[in-house]
Amino acid sequence: MEQRIIIAGSGGQGILFLGKVIALAAMKENMEVTWFPSYGAEMRGGTANCMVVISDDIIGSPIVKYANYLIVLNEASYNKFMDRLSPNGCIIYDSSIIKNSKAPDDINIYPVDASKEASLIANPRLANMILLGSFIKISKILNIERVLKTIEEIIPPKRKEMIEINKNLILRGFSIIGN
CA-nearest of 8, 174, 179 to 91 is 8
Residue 101 has pLDDT above 90, yes or no: no
The overall average pLDDT reported for the chain is 93
Residues 11/49, Cβ–Cβ less than 8 Å: no
Number of domains making up the chain:
1
pLDDT tens digit sequence for 28-80: 999 999 999 987 665 556 779 999 999 999 999 999 999 999 999 999 999 99
Residue 112 has pLDDT above 70, yes or no: yes
Residue 11: per-residue pLDDT: 86
Axis-axis angle for helices 144-154, 15-28 (nearest 10): 120
Domain that holds residue 74: 3-175
pLDDT class of 12 with cuts at 50, 70, 90: confident
Say if pTM beats, i.e. exceeds, 0.85.
Answer: yes
**What's 115's domain CATH number?**
3.40.920.10
- Region 122-131: what's the mean pLDDT? 96
